[in-house]
Chain A
């Protein structure tokens, strides 16, 4: 398959310009680039969602033109979106054959054949999932496998995966890696869009880099280092990916003593003003649950939380906010922001009391001034503070999330995966903001699954496994290995304890 000189404009804005790309059977191509570089648009052109304004698509020597996703699908191109397109209430098998269910001679669905074939497809992916399980009961990783199985059932020759590993645990990522390798063996042609650089080098043969709608690099992964790749993506030198600053420690801000909550068991730690306390661990280790319990979103079952030495027990996030503790959730779309609402409304939502006069009347001038201040200070790229927030890139959305939290003038900030779905350039800006918080004497609890980020920013690191603290490291002692060992070892230990 080959793309030649693809151009795409939206309302006069050029999103893709003269992009050439070739895909070969048995090869895995990574598509890298910052958010807004045009990766998704390119893949949408390839899969028939959008039509190119100029340029040609060649498939096995024939010139083709897809006007609907269906045509691309029939031509053997399958795309697996970041937001999985599965019907939660239906079984894995039903999802795989949705709309193409095998029929009996009477015209009814041939369930036996459907589940047999679905089972075979899943087995090909080395998945031990019963095809009769409802999809909603599967993990994100397993759901992804169901999507891949669907692509295989279509006899797709070209499989495009958009951010496939973003929501996967390390173990699931390993499985995906094996599946990708197996599909390559079968002679499929794969495209992976990803922000996670190590995966590009582990899973892909070649990497194409898009920047501002133009192809700036296309070549084998072996010819590049990770830093080369970043340089190509952002088009400038990133002096230091993790701009660490030593802390100026103040008084103890938060002390958590044997905290227990759903998914959390006897977690204890304390953190001071001006400190970044990192929380590492595998996904599902209980870090998000811990944060939710501390901020009053989920009731505490046992233990004590003290803020500035005073014992607190928040019944709701509202009480936590009043006490100066704010939680920035990992799930921006579900828990962090109101996507249809404007940037300004989102940013000021938690801090409205500060802008309100008697009768709860909002002082619009002061509100706008505060929003404008944060847009400038955080360098949030937008056209208008009243535009809907889902028109911003992931990085800018995350900055709005942070601004929203900081507008409440908190002393303690819990950041849950603050750079998920954020491109390299915006990541660094968020790191600088975290440093700024530190300088202002805030106490930052940083939950991150990105090991280098955790190591690069934290003053101290706690590791959780199965809801318990399984290790505590100073910045000097912490390495990827020690943290991984703590995260995984304790899991093995508890497995032997619990029958």
Chain B
């Protein structure tokens, strides 16, 4: 019986840290292939480039844990980015503007969540519709043109969130780790987090266990929206302007990060750490292919192959 448990524990350890192993492997291979990869500058670069996807993906993890899906995060990012840009351009301090943007993202997410919870429509459809509508709204709001954040003192402070450094480390990296610690704490150490897993594991069980399933569902979409909005702040600040077409296709990168991180699309199983690692896997891959001078066309093919490999590994290890 002891060898059985030990085998099981070992397998579990491997399964839980599969994404981490993949990341380590990717880093080793990249370092071997390019001298420019393993430099402090480049690593900070990778982390900063990954931060936007990581922040979005961690929000999406909550949704996927409840067996839902959120396709609207890219569009939420575009619209809330426009809000952030417009607020900053009007001279509003980011101390108000950023929380306002995040709150707006949470509200947009909560609306999708309400349709999923009460409308009994599949999350795929609800968020697909939200994606279309919000993308349109972003175009209407910006009139199809970028909104520059301007050169006011408020804009300078706002810009720091995307382009600034603290102790030599880009601010977006701090934001990414801040979101990670917050999400990790919420998922693994609060009642709410337990309830998220329970709803994904079995809605009927969750309901009979005294969980307000609708409230949990609305909350996870709100979290996903809030994370997308925070990512929009980073992106808008870094670019110095809000683009109405920003974030196109980001939802798929986010879902890919979640899946590479080992979270089950069936809900109830997965970890936020995996998602962070998944986002870094995608980031490292993009970066390494860039340094090696691989064309962006081939990069897409390579990215697809890696995601496929990760999912394949996951399905094999869980079925055995």
A362 to B196, CA, bound (A): 14
Q: Is B167 positioned at the interface, with any CB of A under 8 Å from its CB? A: no
The smallest beta-carbon distance between A488 and chain B, in angstroms, is 31
With a cutoff of 8 Å between Cβ atoms, the chain A residues found around residue B319 in the complex are none
B201 touches A338 (CB 8 A): yes
Given known pairs A316-B212, A360-B191, A362-B191, the reply for A340 and B3 (CB within 8 Å) is: no
Interface residues of B in 160-197 (CB under 8 A from A): 189-192, 194-195, 197
A11 touches B208 (CB 8 A): no
Q: Is B320 positioned at the interface, with any CB of A under 8 Å from its CB? A: no
Interface residues of B in 190-243 (CB under 8 A from A): 190-192, 194-195, 197-198, 201-202, 204-212
A360 touches B192 (CB 8 A): yes
Q: Is B262 positioned at the interface, with any CB of A under 8 Å from its CB? A: no
B208 touches A12 (CB 8 A): no
Task: Give the contacting residue for B210; candidates A334, A335, A383, A408; CB below 8 A.
Answer: A408
A360 touches B190 (CB 8 A): yes
Q: Name which of B190, B194, B195 has the most chain A CB atoms within 10 A of its CB.
A: B194
Q: Is A87 positioned at the interface, with any CB of B under 8 Å from its CB? A: no
Interface stretch, picked from A184-192, A238-246, A349-357, A436-444, is A349-357
Given known pairs A10-B4, A338-B268, A341-B201, the reply for A362 and B194 (CB within 8 Å) is: yes
B4 touches A364 (CB 8 A): no
B1-37 CB mask vs A (1 if < 8 Å, else 0) is 1011101000000000000000000000000000000
A323-352 CB mask vs B (1 if < 8 Å, else 0) is 000010100001111111100010001101
With a cutoff of 8 Å between Cβ atoms, the chain B residues found around residue A10 in the complex are 4
A362 touches B1 (CB 8 A): no
With a cutoff of 8 Å between Cβ atoms, the chain B residues found around residue A384 in the complex are 5
B5 touches A327 (CB 8 A): no
Which label, helix, strand, loop or mixed, suits the secondary structure of the A interface?
Answer: mixed
The smallest beta-carbon distance between B20 and chain A, in angstroms, is 20
B190 touches A345 (CB 8 A): no
Interface residues on A, range: 35 or more
Q: Is A482 positioned at the interface, with any CB of B under 8 Å from its CB? A: no
Q: Is A52 positioned at the interface, with any CB of B under 8 Å from its CB? A: no
The smallest beta-carbon distance between B222 and chain A, in angstroms, is 16
A335 touches B208 (CB 8 A): yes
Q: Name which of A13, A336, A360, A408 has the most chain B CB atoms within 10 A of its CB.
A: A360
Complex: chain A residue closest to B190, CB-CB: A360
B202 touches A317 (CB 8 A): no
The smallest beta-carbon distance between B184 and chain A, in angstroms, is 13
Complex: chain A residue closest to B4, CB-CB: A11
A11 touches B192 (CB 8 A): no
A269 to B93, CA, bound (A): 65
With a cutoff of 8 Å between Cβ atoms, the chain A residues found around residue B212 in the complex are 316, 318
A317 touches B207 (CB 8 A): yes
Q: Is A297 positioned at the interface, with any CB of B under 8 Å from its CB? A: yes
The smallest beta-carbon distance between B207 and chain A, in angstroms, is 6
B191 touches A356 (CB 8 A): yes
A404 to B197, CA, bound (A): 17
With a cutoff of 8 Å between Cβ atoms, the chain A residues found around residue B303 in the complex are none
Complex: chain B residue closest to A356, CB-CB: B191
Q: Is B145 positioned at the interface, with any CB of A under 8 Å from its CB? A: no
A340 to B200, CA, bound (A): 11
Complex: chain A residue closest to B208, CB-CB: A317
B210 touches A318 (CB 8 A): yes
A337 to B268, CA, bound (A): 13
Q: Is A377 positioned at the interface, with any CB of B under 8 Å from its CB? A: no
A39 to B189, CA, bound (A): 41
Task: Give the contacting residue for A12; candidates B4, B207, B209, B210; CB below 8 A.
Answer: B4
Given known pairs A318-B211, A349-B209, A350-B210, the reply for A340 and B7 (CB within 8 Å) is: no
A sample of 7 inter-chain contacts (CB < 8 A) reads: A11-B7, A297-B207, A317-B209, A334-B202, A340-B268, A352-B191, A361-B189
Known pairs A317-B209, A318-B212; list 19 more (Cβ under 8 Å).
Answer: A10-B4, A11-B7, A297-B207, A316-B207, A316-B212, A317-B210, A318-B211, A334-B205, A335-B202, A335-B204, A336-B208, A340-B201, A340-B269, A349-B194, A350-B210, A352-B194, A360-B190, A360-B191, A362-B191
Which residues of A are interface residues toward B (Cβ below 8 A)?
A: 10-13, 295, 297, 316-318, 320-322, 327, 329, 334-341, 345, 349-350, 352-353, 356, 359-362, 364, 383-384, 404, 408
Top 8 closest pairs, chain A to chain B, by CB:
A338-B201, A321-B210, A350-B209, A318-B210, A360-B191, A11-B4, A360-B190, A352-B191
